[in-house]
Chains A and B, each alone.
Chain A
Amino acid sequence: MRGRLLGVIASFGLLVGVVVVYFIFILEEAPPGVAASVHGTTAQLTLQTDASYGHAPYPDWVTYEARDPSGHWQHSTILKIPAGTRYVHVTVYEYDTATGLRNPFFAYVRGTVGGVIQLNGRPMNYVDAASPAHTFTAPDLGLNVPLPGIDSSAKNQCAAAPCRTSEAHNTISFTFKTPKPGNYRFQCIVPCALGFLYGFGGPMQTIGYMDGMIEVA
């Protein structure tokens, strides 16, 4: 009887072990969320797009970084917006070179307040379809912002995240209305995943790199 009991306990332990592995690798794998800074009724998000992450496990992958309220850059694309705000103001420091869009539809700015973005201080509602390095596109919000890349011959290009503003970059800012509470996926439409089929593998489908969530709560 003792042997049987031990057998049952061992089997149960094995099952619990498998469950723990699941929790570790499925439930807990998400990067930590980064909260927006709040100024009055406006949430401020500050992001950067980098040509290569520069660190394990995928040093060559293109990636976003997000700045937390204390001013530190975090490797995350889980962006938390307070539901009580009216607007979300986003500033993106774009450090990557242009890849260009396959579909020029996404060269048009959509879903922002006024239908425009500020590219290095200049208002724009459209960019050259060959110029984006990335887009900030949230289909559920009707939001599409092309992020023009830097000149490929620019000096002082950033090698690894997080990049510094002393390195070559474009600054894109825009504002959109805070949506009702919920989770909204955002993604990049530019096929920017170097080395992957069609440019849409790897970082393009991985949370924390070019795939992300806007969580309004």
Chain B
Amino acid sequence: MESASLPVSRPRSDSPPLGSLLGFNVVSATLLAILAYYFGHKIGAVIGHHTVWNTSSDQDDDAVLIGMGFAILGWIAGLGFFNYPIGRIFGRPVALHEGNEGGAWRYLRLCTDHKVVALQYLVATLFFFFIAGLNAMFIRAELTSVHGTLFPAGNYLTLVGLHGTMMLMMMSAGVIGPLGNYLVPILIGTRRMAFPRIESLTMWLTVLAGFVLLSATLLGGFPTGWTGYAPLADEARSGIDAYLVSFGLIGISLVLVGLNIIVTVMTQRAPGMTWNRLPIVVWGFVTTSILAVLSAPVLAAALVMTISDRTIDSTLFVSSSGGSPLLWDELFWFFGHPEVYILALPGFGIVLEILPVFARKPLWGYKLAISGLFGVALMSFMVWQHHLFMSGINANLRPFYMFSTELISIPTGFIFLNGMGTMWRAKIRFTVPMLFCMAFFFNFLFGGLSGVFLSDVPADTLLHGSFFVMAHFHYTIMGGLVFALLGGIYYWLPKMTGLKLNEALAKAHFWTMFIFFNLTFFPLFVAGMLGMPRRVSSYNAALHNLNVFVSAMAFFLGLSMLLFLWNLVYSLVFKREPAEQNPWDSKGLEWQLPSPVPAYNFERIPTITSDPYGYGEPGAVPVADFGGVPAGASA
């Protein structure tokens, strides 16, 4: 437990811009990474010249991969992550904080303030989210004609792969990164994460992963979609190297984020913050972290195996040399299915945290919700082979995985019960965060029910690889997680920035997004049932009108996201209207602090006296005792 009264210093005023640019920051990191890539590429080209495959194929995987390895080191060094460990070797004293001074420039470099890291995460993941969304617009534009004519056929696959991989990567980091890093320390009553430098490292690795993935377009693209199936990944051009490295970076980042959150929650909780008082959103982040720590290393191992296949001819996934392409499928989906819940569980936590505030009722079934989160987390490791029903797996395995997949709907149902129970007979305040949370349940219901169909072997035999699957996972991930994330952003951003968001724009964003999301993806269930395949730019002419309609709705959906973007720019950059300390009248610990939260969160570590859900309960005590010091006051 951290000592109760750390010396609290105020951030210094902004450094001169030029001086800041010359230090360790994103600018120097970018330059160093590019130089290091060039240097590594040269070395890799020399090494690669002596390998068997490269001499005859004109592929330069060794050069590209070694270049990327050097670029990663250059990026980390440029940001100054080696400074502290090297300093320690030479006797520099132990320091918990680094880079917390410097005003706005803190956001462009290593910073150990979890609130700064969270905002860095938010901006970075939103940036890549919009890039991936742009890809989706391109995909829908291509599908407005029966025989796609907008993009070259091979490049369409790259487009689909970039969209899917970036969305999955960035959404994995997009919730646990900004909201997890921001909320966990505050909600458990501490001043920082357990490993602040690692926290910052995960953020900058995520940024690098996004740019490395984008570089696939410069390297010939990749044909595998987000699943990177062997042997296609072994055969593919150098663009797949970008996929392998970027996904690897995200995997490392996820493991580190997960460990950091688990250790923080286990060791840093304020006095009185018993497990029974832990906010449900923190439980969501904890269960997500457990999934990340257990599943992402398997992905990282599989990625390294593919890299070794492509460079040192290890043939781990090459059947003609004793390897097995199916091994990739197993390893990938052992990560891939828990990954779906890495996306879903924080969403569950967010909506269950927000619902009581606007229902003005206690969270119904707190322990049931925790068991639901853990139930989903545990069972997500027992269902992955439903992705392989059609891959020639042992037929005797199918009933087990069909059953286990259908069984996971029970703990998921707990979350629905919690939500419905909380809203039952409540006087609901239909604020924008609440609207997003309610839409989450509506959308996730369609996603969940269609998932039950897909878990059924006979139905999956017909629907596998079709747009039905595509519609299903968009209903769960976009309709579920993204709606929950947006609800969370509208709910917590005033606290994070100290600034209000424009409510009229926010409501316009919600309604257009909700309507056009459903008009985009529901018809795709029909397209899938009529046999429209995924990842193919040509389709049956009978489905043309349906696809034109879906594309038009998708473009409106894209426009609705621009409303969100405009709201952020308008409210946070131009209008800058200060937010109240507790605009939602919430009992949450974070809302007892000023907006934005001061540098070290709490002047004194509070004593937690209650859970934060005592709405409408006579005699409910405040959530914490701040020891007579105003909450969040700084020295």
Contacts and interface: CB of A to CB of B under 8 A. Distances in A.
Binding between chains A and B:
yes
Interface string B418-452: 00000000000000000000000000000000000
Contact of A197 (B149, B223, B234): B234
A159 interface: no
A205 B154 contact: yes
A183 B58 contact: no
A30 B152 contact: yes
A195 B55 contact: yes
Q: Which among B55, B318, B569 has the highest number of chain A CB atoms within 10 Å? A: B569
Contacts of A198: 231, 235, 318, 320
B58 A18 contact: no
Contact of A211 (B56, B135, B154, B574): B154
A25 to B, nearest CB: 4
Given A18-B131, A22-B138, A206 B58 contact: no
Contact of A8 (B58, B151, B235, B569): B569
Interface string B220-244: 1101000000010011110000000
A60 B147 contact: no
Contact of B134 (A19, A58, A194, A213): A19
B609 interface: no
Interface string B150-166: 11111100110000000
A29 B574 CA distance: 39
Contacts of B53: 195-197
Contacts of B146: 182
Interface string A179-217: 000110100000001111110111011110001010000
A59 interface: yes
Q: How large is the interface on A (under 10, 10 to 19, 20 to 34, 35 or more residues)?
A: 35 or more
Nearest to A61: B58
Given A7-B573, A183-B538, A195 B147 contact: no
A204 to B, nearest CB: 8
Contact of B57 (A8, A27, A57, A201): A201
A76 B56 CA distance: 22
B297 interface: no
A144 B455 CA distance: 38
B434 to A, nearest CB: 30
B147 A182 contact: yes
B578 interface: no
Given A195-B53, A198-B320, A206 B235 contact: no
A200 to B, nearest CB: 5
Interface string B461-485: 0000000000000000000000000
Interface in B550-602: 569, 573-574
A26 interface: yes
A194 B235 CA distance: 12
Contacts of A113: none
B151 to A, nearest CB: 6
Contacts of A1: 574
Interface residues of B, number: 42
A202 B59 contact: yes
A21 interface: yes
Contacts of B569: 8
B217 interface: yes
B229 to A, nearest CB: 13
B130 interface: yes
B512 interface: no
Interface in A1-40: 1, 4, 7-8, 15, 18-19, 21-22, 25-27, 29-30
Given A22-B138, A202-B237, A207 B58 contact: no
Contacts of B56: 60, 194-195
Nearest to A216: B147
B235 A196 contact: yes
A29 B235 contact: no
A63 to B, nearest CB: 11
B155 A60 contact: no
B153 A200 contact: no
Contact of B217 (A21, A205, A213): A21
A214 to B, nearest CB: 11
Interface in B51-77: 53-59
Contacts of B54: 195
Contact of A60 (B58, B234, B237, B320): B58
Contact of B237 (A7, A15, A194, A206): A206
A194 B147 contact: no
B148 interface: yes
Interface in A48-71: 57-61
Contacts of B159: 26
B318 A57 contact: no
B218 interface: yes
A200 B131 CA distance: 31
A189 B148 CA distance: 23
Given A4-B574, A205-B223, A206-B220, A195 B235 contact: no
Interface in A134-159: none
A196 B318 CA distance: 12
A18 B218 CA distance: 12
B126 to A, nearest CB: 11
A163 B621 CA distance: 87
A15 B218 contact: no
A200 B138 CA distance: 28
B573 A8 contact: yes
A29 B320 contact: no
A27 B480 CA distance: 31
A212 B130 CA distance: 32
A27 B236 contact: no
B154 to A, nearest CB: 5
A59 to B, nearest CB: 6
Contact of A183 (B153, B231, B236, B309): B153
Contacts of B138: 22, 26-27
A193 B538 contact: no
Nearest to A19: B134
A183 B538 CA distance: 8
Interface of B: 53-59, 130-131, 134-135, 138, 146-155, 158-159, 214, 217-218, 220-221, 223, 231, 234-237, 309, 318, 320, 538, 569, 573-574
Given A205-B154, A207-B152, 11 more contacts: A18-B214, A26-B151, A26-B155, A26-B158, A27-B151, A29-B155, A194-B56, A198-B320, A202-B57, A202-B237, A205-B237
20 contacts: A4-B573, A18-B134, A18-B214, A26-B155, A27-B138, A60-B58, A61-B57, A182-B147, A183-B153, A185-B153, A194-B57, A195-B56, A195-B57, A196-B53, A198-B318, A202-B59, A205-B223, A205-B235, A206-B220, A206-B237
The 3 closest A-B pairs by CB, nearest first: A195-B56, A195-B57, A201-B235
